[in-house]
Structure 1
Amino acid sequence: MIELLVAIGLIALNGVFSLSELAIVSARKSRLKSLAESGRRGAATALALAEDPGRFLSTVQIGITLIGILAGAFSGAALGRRLTDILGGYGVPQTVAEPLGYGLVIAVITYLSVVIGELVPKNLALRNSERLACLVAPLMSLVSRVGAPVVWLLDASTKLIFRALGSSGDSAHTVTHEEIRMIVAEAETAGVIETDERTMISGVLRLGDRAVRAIMTPRTDVDWINLADTDGAIKAALMNTRRSRLPVADGDPDNMIGVIQARDLLASALADQPLNIRAHVRVAPVIPDTIDALDVLNVLREAPVPMALVHDEYGHFEGIVTPADILDAIAGAFQSDTHSHDPEAVERADGSWLIAGSMPADEMADRLGIVLPRKRSYETAAGLVIAELHHLPETGEAVETLGFRFEVVDLDGRRIDKILAARLPNEGFSS
């Protein structure tokens, strides 16, 4: 009976080491740090163990190895001998009772070791990694201090072998955008977040990789005021626009001098004052078209008006960017902000996609399941087609790239308005 209790105790202790190993290794360091700052007992110790995985894994391995030796040398032998005697008492021949007794004991101990000593603890650790890491960390730290010489020897030996193999042995893993997207996708599948929430999170991640050219309202879509126009033409422009703020140019769009707010002009009109655009012009920041979208957000926060004028390296006016453009990149366009209510991408019955030429290339890539080159000169679906053709296309021209055939099906002047994207035969989904 004592031997059986010892065997069960050793298996349970093995389970504690297995649970500790997986709980601390899989626990998120950011979460442990937060728990430590909030005063959670054991969190700081768990974080210290996670920061030095070499020493911690050596500690666990010492414990598991010693338990395995004891279980095999003491419990297995004693129980095997006891079961052999029991079988012999029932008349089983010695030549059969001994191998049968030891075999049954080894089978049962192995089964219990796998289930109770490994599988159950590790499953528990995966489900509650941070909480269990805080719980077992003090014990593991104590074992590490008690076995410090052996732990040091094993850790140093491991590092020495890594250096011999040309590796530092330190983990170089960092969380990537793709891993974050996968986590968000899993959260959506599990019902933790809504689909719209996932869409917005993806938009925020894309925002950090975009230049302002990818989110700005391009020059061709900008409503603007020309001081060289007559008062009648300026009033007509103000009446026809749906914008509350308009850039103002002095004779040429490349000579933008600032921005006016419609409410300022309305106040003057209600007061029966003459139209004086120049008096109401406010200075707006001028930014290069290569600046990052997130940097633009900081510029807009500090600007006297929430609008920035985008110029290229030659000083030519390229477009404008507002907080609404950034919100559009994150949450999608609002109907009141667009001239067309058509969606940017529509999947057809045959599996092809009808795509707006102005659709951001990275959003299109997400819809189609393709991977764009990291270094590229375009920001839209139309830019992709032009970059592959190396000229402005005519209606009906097509290009095959990235596993798809992109055909220009509609032009608005020289601008690509609609593209038909069809997967090429025998092309699998890009990863």
Structure 2
Amino acid sequence: MPVFEIAVVVLLVLINGVLAMAELSVVSARPARLRSMADNGSSGARIALSLAADPGRFLSTVQIGITLIGILAGAFSGATLGGRLGEWLRDMGVSPGLADGLGYSLVVAAITYISLIIGELIPKRLALQSPERLASLVAPGMMLLSRVAAPAVWLLDISSRGILRLLGESGKGDDSNVTDEEIRAIVAEAETAGVIDPEERRMIAGVMRLADRPVRAVMTPRTDVDWIDLTDDPDAVRQTIRETHHTRMPACEGTPEESVGVIDIRDLLEAYLDGETPDPRQFVKQAPVLVETAGALDAMKVLRHAETPLALVVDEYGSMVGILTPADLLDTIAGTVVFDEGGQVKPDVVERADGSYLVAGSTPIDELADVLAIRLPQDSSFHTAAGFMLHELKRLPQEGAAFEAMGWRFEVVDMDGRRVDKILVARAVTPRRRAPLMG
């Protein structure tokens, strides 16, 4: 029995499997995890990072090894095992001309099958399951192989780069190849695997949304802002303080457009409790001013260093269009919490039994897009569901106004004055085509 020949072929197949596993594990390994392992003292992880940093050289090394193993396995198995099998077939009565060819073909087919299973598929499946751990294990051997085969590796690497240049490619990958979609996919996968909770996933998504939003999309609009009119008499100011539940309010001269600063209600209330009749102007503090088109992250930096954690948001004409507080930014990350008159939480989007959604007009449009699984233009000028309705209808709607877009039907079901308050979103019904009459 050709034990030695079989052992050699099995060894070659196993080496091929190690090379295939090394190729996929190093390419699939996440650099952040490899760096963490390297920081914890893993020399294999450091070598794997250096191999991944020069993919052309690494892939040339792997291809040289796999090609040589394939040639050796085919030649050796055909010359030895194929010949022995041919002799056995002749002894079994098969004609000599047919026995040699049949023996060689059967051996090559068997070796190819074993190589595909043991030398390719299984190692690559293992590499996909634990890429970082396996990359750290095989990296030292791959580094040694690249040094031994340095001349051939250099020739293959320089040849492939030259051909890529002729094709108009630089041969270098884009450094910023991680997209928002990939990050969301990783987070969703982590939630499915139980690594993070659903609430954590929503907060991570909120942080990503915050980075993409301007101040106008996260501020409290002027129509919802309680403010103190410095031209009012003391009794009117005291009544305003009693009716508000805020601790800080903008101070304005007659109209919200003429905002001059912020008043801390506790300071003013303390003066009233002491029996005084204070002048509200003496309690006005300077507040940071933000342009409505500024980024939300830039606004966060301003609020972090501001003496008063309330910023006045102005438009291009300098008029106040809203205010921004840390609570507004937190709502974007953790989710907006709205309470009804009874003190109960009122969600922005409510899914109904028939699969439709009842949506508040103030719902951020990117959150609604996530719920409906639709993609909106990146340069859209609207930031809420109500703004989307106005953008599509091109007019101030009345109750019952509707349109269809992106596979959904949007209908205004409630108006609060001139504000779109409630929207009904349902799947669009595609009319059925009549079948042609058969003559």
Moved more, 297-306 or 190-199: 190-199
1:282 equivalenced with 2:266 (yes/no):
no
Q: How many residues align?
A: 427
What residue in structure 1 maps to residue 106 of structure 2? 104
1:358-377 correspondence to structure 2 within 5 Å: 358-377=362-381
Q: Which letter maps to 1:323?
A: P
1:313 equivalenced with 2:292 (yes/no):
no
Q: Which letter maps to 1:112?
A: I
Unpaired runs of 5+ residues, structure 2, are 432-439
Give the deviation of 1:271 after TM superposition.
3.5
Distance 2:340 2:123 in 1: 55
Equivalent position to 2:235, from 223, 232, 236: 232
Distance 1:34 1:264 in 2: 50
Question: SS of the residue aligned with 2:43?
Answer: coil
What TM-score comes out, normalization by structure 2 length?
A: 0.92
Q: Which letter maps to 2:348?
A: E
Equivalent position to 1:323, from 321, 326, 333: 326
1:267 equivalenced with 2:265 (yes/no):
no
Question: SS of the residue aligned with 2:212?
Answer: coil
1:237-252 correspondence to structure 2 within 5 Å: 237-252=240-255
Give the deviation of 1:275 after TM superposition.
3.0
CA offsets 1:188-229 (integer angstroms, 9 cap, x no match): 222222211111111111111100111111000011111111
1:86-125 correspondence to structure 2 within 5 Å: 86-89=88-91, 94=96, 97-125=99-127
1:201 equivalenced with 2:204 (yes/no):
yes
Do the aligned residues in 2 keep the contact of 1:13 with 1:117 (CA within 8 Å)? Answer: yes
Distance 1:82 1:162 in 2: 46
CA offsets 1:229-263 (integer angstroms, 9 cap, x no match): 12221111111111121111122211212212232
Give the deviation of 1:303 after TM superposition.
0.7
1:132-281 correspondence to structure 2 within 5 Å: 132-172=134-174, 174-281=177-284
Do the aligned residues in 2 keep the contact of 1:358 with 1:380 (CA within 8 Å)? Answer: yes
Q: Which letter maps to 1:109?
A: I
Question: SS of the residue aligned with 1:259?
Answer: strand
Do the aligned residues in 1 keep the contact of 2:85 with 2:104 (CA within 8 Å)? Answer: yes
Equivalent position to 2:64, from 62, 65, 84: 62
What residue in structure 1 maps to residue 359 of structure 2? 355
Distance 2:79 2:331 in 1: 72
Distance 1:121 1:76 in 2: 25
Do the aligned residues in 1 keep the contact of 2:251 with 2:259 (CA within 8 Å)? Answer: yes
Equivalent position to 1:12, from 11, 14, 27: 14
Moved more, 199-208 or 264-273: 264-273
Distance 2:328 2:336 in 1: 8
Give the deviation of 1:76 after TM superposition.
3.4
Do the aligned residues in 2 keep the contact of 1:76 with 1:109 (CA within 8 Å)? Answer: no
Equivalent position to 1:128, from 127, 130, 135: 130
Q: Which letter maps to 1:111?
A: Y
Give the deviation of 1:322 after TM superposition.
0.8
Distance 1:388 1:90 in 2: 83
Residues 1:340 and 1:241: Cα distance change in structure 2 (over 3 Å): farther
Q: Which 4+ residue blocks in structure 1 deviate beyond 6 angstroms? A: 337-340
Do the aligned residues in 2 keep the contact of 1:36 with 1:43 (CA within 8 Å)? Answer: yes
